[in-house]
């Protein structure tokens, strides 16, 4: 999946976003988590979140992490 470059452009349509409680990724349980975005999210080209382990916000279950599990 490619990053959505429209996010940094004011007033630009960023496309369809995942619903607040919609599961977007499978759990991988390791720091090298890759290719874990669910197929139905990829096929619909849904914008997902990306939580980092250095963030003070806890990643909800079923959401995507970047650089960690």
Range of the domain at 46: 1-69
pLDDT tens, per residue, the chain with 69 residues: 677 888 888 999 988 988 888 888 887 766 667 788 899 999 998 888 777 667 677 777 777 766 544
**pLDDT for position 55:** 64
**pTM (global) more than 0.85:** no
**pLDDT for position 53:** 67
- Asked if 41 and 5 count as a contact pair (C-beta separation under 8 A), the reply is no
> How many domains, the chain?
1
**pLDDT for position 69:** 44
Question: If DSSP codes are grouped into helix, strand and coil, which group holds residue 37?
Answer: strand
**pLDDT for position 58:** 74
């Amino acid at each position: 999946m490619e990053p959505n470059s429209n996010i940094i452009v004011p007033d630009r349509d960023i496309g369809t976003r995942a619903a607040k409680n919609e599961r977007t990724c499978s759990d991988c349980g390791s720091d090298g988590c890759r290719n874990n975005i669910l197929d139905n999210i990829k096929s619909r080209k849904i914008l997902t979140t990306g939580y980092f382990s250095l963030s003070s916000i806890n990643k909800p279950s079923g959401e995507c992490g970047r650089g960690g599990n």
